[in-house]
């Protein structure tokens, strides 16, 4: 299956970082997300209930990210990918988490990960 539902440039704020000044206030983050999901059922029914609801994913991630206080972007990326796999039924997730204000000399830094649903 090669169907992908994507969200590009999801802007969220989180308290994240290893330095004391990073822990004082939320910082902007940008997420680019690719979720492997079979879209044929949704296409046939034209029903949102059969689709991977990207609005619901974005709202849930915003809620989750705002509640976290991780030191590392690696941890936050891992947890966000797991949330998508566990709560929204994606088979595979590719997630890029960028922290635009981390380095003054760079547009952004961050991580890119790919995770797949575990077989039961």
Residues carrying an active site annotation: 99
d(CA 69, CA 92): 25
d(CA 58, CA 68): 16
d(CA 112, CA 105): 20
d(CA 55, CA 44): 20
d(CA 65, CA 79): 9
Structure tokens at 110: 């961050």
């Amino acid at each position: 299956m090669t169907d992908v539902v994507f969200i590009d440039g999801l802007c969220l704020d989180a308290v994240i970082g290893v330095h004391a000044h990073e822990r004082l206030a939320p910082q902007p983050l940008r997420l680019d997300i690719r979720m492997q999901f079979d879209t044929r059922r949704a296409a046939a029914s034209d029903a949102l209930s059969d689709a991977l609801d990207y609005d619901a994913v974005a709202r849930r991630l915003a809620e989750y990210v705002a509640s976290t206080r991780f030191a590392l972007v690696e941890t936050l990326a891992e947890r966000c990918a797991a949330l998508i796999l566990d709560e929204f039924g994606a088979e595979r997730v590719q997630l890029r988490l960028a922290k635009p204000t981390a380095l003054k000399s760079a547009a952004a830094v961050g991580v890119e990960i790919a995770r797949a649903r575990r077989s039961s």
